[in-house]
């Protein structure tokens, strides 16, 4: 009932608003759940997979020494400043990735910078890491952590004011952001793959990645560190970044960020051209993300965590990423199109799928391809 109501009534109303305004309205609507403990408890109980039964355990995994009650998490970008983590944790997500934050507070890129492609169930954004700064996020998260109830990751990026051709300054900027958030995050995701900060993706090149990730790893001292990669890397580029990931001994890979590709879209090409640059997310990214997850898993082996992101809207989509090798999956655009109860709905469907597969938990199915 909730999904039908959202699709038929609430989403059409929200989509009458500019995307940024709709996003801000959604965050405001989550305010009562964020601040009222009894309301959070009621929401959490209402969306639970199956309280006091084995069904909930079927979709839980333990990775990086953390217990994830569901494999379905929220991707970075939705709650950039940790304004609503307790509310989001109550909606059925198994983990949250907050941010991306930078060491220096910064505004969004000039508007318009966020666009919907409803025919493709996609978004295009060129926001460019707008956030209040890593210190501000950390201060807010220190207060809210006890009420979140699921593992929390924080994504860090490069401040726009730091020139990308000054590698020492870039590394120092990332280190400052990392130092600010490491104590309040269960894991930190190093975002070197957004297409919306000029030159940022050059940090995926082997030598740049080695300099950055080595510096962060040296300061990690018990922190869990992952890197988020682009879907647009060719085979050689992917091999380079994964070689560094293994050399530096990161804890995992998030695959993938948004894409700069615009192939096989249903939306009118003139509309796409008018929108211009930005990262495309949602359904068009699904196939490429699946392929990258498969390649990452084959390269890094079973020990490293792989988080699959791209076009997740249903249990089928999540299960496809699991079978390709993902330990966890994340959604963002699917959350926009499917509504606030989508993570809980996918979790319930996954629990039934795992039971039908004859597996004890979904972790038993990671990397098990079905022909």
Catalytic residues: 194
Strands of 270-309, DSSP E: 279-282, 305-309
Cis peptide preceding 100, ω within 30 of 0: yes
Q: Which residues are within 8 A (CB) of 222 and not within 5 positions of it... i.e. 6 or more apart?
A: none
**Angle between helix 167-181 and 134-144 (nearest 10):** 20
| 150 bridge partner residues | none
Q: Can you read off the two tokens belonging to residue 245?
A: 């990931």
Joined together, the tokens standing for residue 187 give: 């894991």
Which tokens sit at 125? 């954004």
How many CB atoms are closer than 10 A to CB 168?
9
- Beta partners for 328? 307
State phi, psi for 284 to the nearest 5 degrees. Answer: -60, -20
């Amino acid at each position: 009932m909730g999904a039908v109501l959202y699709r038929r009534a609430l989403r059409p109303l929200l989509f009458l608003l500019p995307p940024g305004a709709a996003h801000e309205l959604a965050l405001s609507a989550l305010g009562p759940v964020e601040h009222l403990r009894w309301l959070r408890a009621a929401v959490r109980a209402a969306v639970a997979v199956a309280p006091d039964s084995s069904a909930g355990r079927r979709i839980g995994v333990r990775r990086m020494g953390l217990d994830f009650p569901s494999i379905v998490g929220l991707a970075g970008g939705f709650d950039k400043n940790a304004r609503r983590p307790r509310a989001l944790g109550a909606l059925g997500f198994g983990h949250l990735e907050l941010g991306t934050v930078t060491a220096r507070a910064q505004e969004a890129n000039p508007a318009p910078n966020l666009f919907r492609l409803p025919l493709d169930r996609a978004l295009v954004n060129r926001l460019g890491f707008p956030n209040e700064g890593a210190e501000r996020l950390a201060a807010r998260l220190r207060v809210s952590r006890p009420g979140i109830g699921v593992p929390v990751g924080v994504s860090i990026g490069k401040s726009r004011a730091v020139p990308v051709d000054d590698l020492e300054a870039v590394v120092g900027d990332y280190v400052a952001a990392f130092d600010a958030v490491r104590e309040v995050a269960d894991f930190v995701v190093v975002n070197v793959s957004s297409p919306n900060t000029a030159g940022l993706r050059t940090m995926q090149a082997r030598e740049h990645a080695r300099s950055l990730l080595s510096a962060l790893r040296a300061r990690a001292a018990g922190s869990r560190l992952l890197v988020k990669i682009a879907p647009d890397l060719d085979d050689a580029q992917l091999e380079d970044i994964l070689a560094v990931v293994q050399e530096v001994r990161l804890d995992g890979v998030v695959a993938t960020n948004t894409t700069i590709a615009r192939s096989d879209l249903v939306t009118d090409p003139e509309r796409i051209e008018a929108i211009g640059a930005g990262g495309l997310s949602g359904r068009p990214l699904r196939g490429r993300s699946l392929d990258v997850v498969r390649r990452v898993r084959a390269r890094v082996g079973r020990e490293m965590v792989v988080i699959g992101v791209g076009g997740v809207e249903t249990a089928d989509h999540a299960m496809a990423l699991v079978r390709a090798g993902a330990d966890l999956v994340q959604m963002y655009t699917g959350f926009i199109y499917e509504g606030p109860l989508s993570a809980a709905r996918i979790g319930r469907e996954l629990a039934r799928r795992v039971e039908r597969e004859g597996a004890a938990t979904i972790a038993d199915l990671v990397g098990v391809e079905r022909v």
